[in-house]
């Protein structure tokens, strides 16, 4: 049972480059999220989705775009990477937005922007 899978696990980008992080879940969850984790900051929500074809902004959306073309996939894009986007990115999914049920997390993507 794969759960939530993120690719890639590690990436180094040069400033100004673009990339897409892929999140896939096999639990038929409606809700998916992208967080970033920085030292001393905890987890901050970037964007989230309440279902296929929908997306919404979270706490720190600037510099990121997302798409949810298929229910099982949630893509996070960086159009022009900046050093401030160096972070560990986590994708999560849950059966409902209200959090009554467990949110499942991927293992993370460590991104360094130089």
Partner 1 sequence: GNSVTQMEGPVTLSEEAFLTINCTYTATGYPSLFWYVQYPGEGLQLLLKATKADDKGSNKGFEATYRKETTSFHLEKGSVQVSDSAVYFCALSARGGSEKLVFGKGMKLTVNP
Provide the binding-site residues for partner 1, judged by CB under 8 A. 4, 33, 40-43, 45, 48, 58, 90, 92, 97-100, 102-108
Q: Which is nearer to partner 1, 18 or 96 (CB)?
A: 96
| d(C-alpha 57, C-alpha 35), whole Å | 11
**Tokens found for residue 18:** 């673009």
Who contacts 30 (Cβ-Cβ below 8 Å, separation ≥6)?
50, 51, 71, 94, 95, 96, 97
Name the minimum Å distance from CB 33 to partner 1.
Answer: 7
Closest approach of partner 1 to the CB of residue 91, in Å: 8
Q: Which is nearer to partner 1, 14 or 39 (CB)?
A: 39
Q: Which is nearer to partner 1, 26 or 79 (CB)?
A: 26
- Yes or no: say if 64 and 76 are a contact pair by the CB < 8 Å rule: yes
């Amino acid at each position: 049972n794969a759960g939530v899978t993120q690719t890639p696990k590690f990436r180094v980008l040069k400033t100004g480059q673009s990339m897409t992080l892929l999140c896939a879940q096999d639990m038929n969850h409606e809700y998916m999220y992208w967080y970033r984790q920085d030292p001393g900051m905890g987890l901050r929500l970037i964007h989230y989705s309440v279902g296929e074809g929908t997306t919404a902004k979270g706490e720190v959306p600037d510099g990121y775009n997302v798409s949810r073309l298929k229910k099982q996939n949630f893509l996070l894009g960086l159009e022009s990477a900046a050093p401030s986007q160096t972070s560990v990115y986590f994708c999560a999914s849950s059966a409902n937005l209200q959090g009554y049920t467990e949110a499942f997390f991927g293992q993370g993507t460590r991104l360094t922007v130089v």
